Amino acid sequence: MASDQARELRAKGIAAAKAGNKEEARQLLQQSVRIEPRNEAAWLWLASVARDAGERKFCLEQVISINPNNPTALQALQALSGTTSTPPPAGDSTGSMPSLRRLTASPPAPRAAPLEPDPSPTPSSLRIKKLPSAAGSTSAQRLSEQEIMAQPPGIPIPAQERINEAHKHIDRLMIELTEPLPTYNWTRKRSGRAGEGDIVVYRLYVTAGIVAALVLLGVIGVIALNNSPQLQLVVYGASATPTVTPSVTPTNTPGLTPTPSVTPQRSPTPSPTVPFEITPGDPLSPPRATAIYPQVAREIALAFGAIQRGDARAAIPTLATERQRQSSDPALFDPAPFYYEALAYLALEDPESALETLEDAQSRLNARNTREAKPLLDCGFAQVYWRIYESASARGNAAAARDALALVQTYAQDALEGDPRLEEPYILLARAAAQERRFDDAIATLDQGLSVSALRQNVRLILAKADVYYRQREFGLANYQAFLARYIDPTTEAAYQLQYQIALDQNRPGDAVLIAQDYLHFYPGSTTAFQLLGDAHFREGSLDLALQAYTQGLAGNTNDLASANMLVGRGRIYMQRGRYDLAREDFTRALAINNAPETLALRMEAAYRDGRYQIALDDAARLRTANVIPVGQLDLLRGRALIESAANNQDYTLALNVLNTLDRASLNAEQRALVDEYIARGQLAVRNLSAAQAAIDAALGANETPYRRYLRGQILEARGERASARRDYEWVVTLSQVIPFEFAADARERLEALR
């Protein structure tokens, strides 16, 4: 145990101190306080073997922090109060020292060398004031007047016999503190205790009462069961019993007979029930193309395929040619080229041209072709007005959005009345109802479409139903619909993506990992699937697996949105691991794909931490109008970058102007303290020592850190306040023996120079 180890180290350290091996005692006691930093005796003994007054004072202050009423530490600190201060040197009030370094330089590498011992003999005044005698007298606490007068000038030194007597008291105290607790021998009870018989009787009464109550409840239950037919049906009636479907073993089972035996198997988790009319898809078959209804010519089918692939511009010439071919003979009118050309314009974000195309087709309707052609055109109008509704909603134009949504519902309903086998009108009507929070109507509309025999296994309708349930936060129902879509077509990407999102929303990242792996099984090169897998591993805390997934997904040097997201995810992992150079490179690649302001903010932070201050400054300037980061925080980073990269007083002055004029109201307490810290650095660099002192004191008042104590020591040293500077350096150096700092070596050198 850690306490046993600390106790053993402390005992060895005390023994070494008694033997006069101060250096060995210091090392052992320092190891002890690292394990038990709140041990009063260890710090007290460590003070007795300190190398100099500063180290001794630090140890005694630790004793006081543990026990403010410790008389030994209080008296020893009082004795040291007159020995740690040194008068300031004569000369210039600024007190510039030849060893003063610029703060903008990188802190020196840490060194393991301990503090050099003070060459001047240190009086053992610590032991004079510590230890009261066992009898409570004060003879061991102070020297007599004759003894003091008989000694040479300086701090009085006690006689050796008094020191030996004090050590005896310490030994006695440590023996008492380390003595084990006394042990006790227990004997068996030989007679009954007072009241023991009464409690037994009481327990019998309680037991009898409970039994009587249970019997009474049983009688009442039997009477109620015999007189209530409904209750008899519940108790004695038949209920559905789940049975196991047997599977036949394909090979002969060893045994007495060579015939195959039935092997019942039970799935560890129940699987959803699939309606009998739904047939499963073949998971080994390649992804199937979306069926086109109504059927169209091969050229139009190829154009529609180009629209689905995101190449709508290439599809328009083919569809326009088909339109021109029909203009020569009205009897050849086919609404399909007009409809798909309108879809191509929608893909190009041009709803006006889509409306013109559909209106041209509508003008060609007559009594002979209206019944066949009008439903598809109405479906096209509904799709165009849905896009207009989305655009108006994004602009905040509520009136235009409301009118467009009404037209969506009108045209979609007309399309279904003309041809109920069209799938798109059901989806649009369900979306419109969901936008108006009429979720039950949306589900009813989709169920109406799924009741049509031609649409019974339509994956798009099933996924639209899943989307409605998901918007209601009905995760179980939404997940079931996505399962049905995958059951019908295992290559349905939208079903994997929805189930993945549901798993994350329910805080099940492990299930999300399994779904993403299934997704990758059917789409092994999909950047979206790799992104989902990496994000799921990141959510569950498996950073190595997340890094591996992102790296595999980015192996093809793709430039789609999923690749940008993977670059951002991998960059975040690099940031957590301190690889700021790699993070900056990933964020830069992601910016080349999507140029998102959030990614720019991440690149700014990575560049600053990587020491690329000019890149950080340029990114901060670009983010001032992006409303991603408050302007005050951007100015804080600008000021810090200017301080870090400053080469002359002009650069420091520019940085101070930014830090002094930024909006502190948008910062939290720690960020405001950081502003004061960097102001102190800048003011010290331009030799405005009073302002630097005020700024660093404000930063330390908000939060005391080792670097801020080190920085204040530099400021005090520059002002000629050597004693105060020594105290800050001693604090840093002493603490660095427990917690290493990058600037500890420089603080140690400055402390030695001041001595």
DSSP labels for 34-53? Answer: HH-TT-HHHHHHHHHT-SSH
Q: Which fold is adopted by the domain 2-86+124-178? A: 1.25.40
The least confident of 68-82, 97-111, 406-420, 662-676 is: 97-111
Work out the average pLDDT over 32-42. Answer: 87
The whole-angstrom separation of Cα 50 and Cα 67 is 20
Q: What percent of the chain has pLDDT over 70?
A: 76
Strand partners, 263: 247
d(CA 533, CA 525): 13
Q: Write the DSSP symbol of residue 244.
A: P
Q: Determine the Cα–Cα distance for residues 600 and 588; give it in Å rounded to an integer.
A: 8
- Given a contact cutoff of 8 angstroms between Cβ atoms, the answer to whether 566 and 531 are in contact is yes
Q: Which residues fall within 8 angstroms of residue 712, CB to CB, at 6 or more apart?
A: 680, 693, 696, 697, 700, 728
What is the percentage of the chain residues whose pLDDT exceeds 90?
A: 52
Q: Rounded distance, CA 486 to CA 46, Å? A: 71
More confident residue, 242 or 61: 61
DSSP 656: H
**Token digits of residue 282:** 């073949």
The model's pLDDT over 725-743, given as tens digits with 9 standing for 90+, comes to: 999 999 999 999 988 888 9
CA pair distance 163, 572, nearest whole angstrom: 61
Instruction: Give the chain's mean pLDDT.
Output: 82
Looking at residue 55, what is its pLDDT? 85
According to the model, what pLDDT value does residue 95 have?
39
Count of CB atoms within 10 A of residue 199's CB?
10
pLDDT of residue 719: 94
pLDDT of residue 144: 52
pLDDT at 235 over 50: yes
Per-residue confidence band for 173, with pLDDT thresholds at 50, 70 and 90: low
**Cβ distance 30 to 737 under 8 Å?**
yes
Cα 589 to chain centroid distance, Å, stands at 23
* Whole-number pLDDT of residue 536: 97
Highest mean pLDDT (candidates 72-86, 171-185, 712-726): 712-726
Torsion from C-alpha of 226, 240, 246, 271, nearest 10 degrees: -140
Distances (CA, A) of 275 to 245, 426, 454, 457, 458: 17, 21, 16, 11, 14
Amino acid at 114: P
Tokens of 405: 């949504």
Q: Given a cut of 90, is residue 5 above it in pLDDT?
A: no
Q: Which of 4-18, 176-190, 245-259 has the highest mean pLDDT?
A: 4-18
Name every residue whose Cβ is closer than 8 Å to that of residue 356 and which is 6 or more positions away in sequence: none
> Band of the pLDDT at 271, cuts 50, 70, 90?
low
pLDDT value for 221: 80
Provide the pLDDT confidence category of residue 276 given band limits of 50, 70 and 90: low
pLDDT at 160: 66
Tell me the pLDDT band of 75, cut-offs 50, 70 and 90. confident
| Per-residue pLDDT reduced to its tens digit, 123-134 | 333 333 333 433
| Cβ count near 213 (within 10 Å) | 10
Q: Give the per-residue pLDDT at 475.
A: 95
C-alpha to C-alpha distance for 465 and 450, rounded to whole angstroms: 10
- Residue 640: pLDDT above 90? yes
Match 């300190």 to its residue by tokens. 50
What is the reported pLDDT for 741? 85
Q: Which of 104-113, 414-423, 512-521 has the lowest mean pLDDT?
A: 104-113
The mean per-residue pLDDT over the stretch 488-499 comes to 93
Answer yes or no: is pLDDT of 258 > 90: no
CA distance 728 to 714: 9
Strands (E), 443-595: none
Q: In this model, does residue 172 exceed pLDDT 70? A: no
Question: Coil, helix or strand for 261?
Answer: coil
Contact between 437 and 463 (Cβ < 8 Å) = no
Residue that has been written with the tokens 């630790």 in this structure: 62
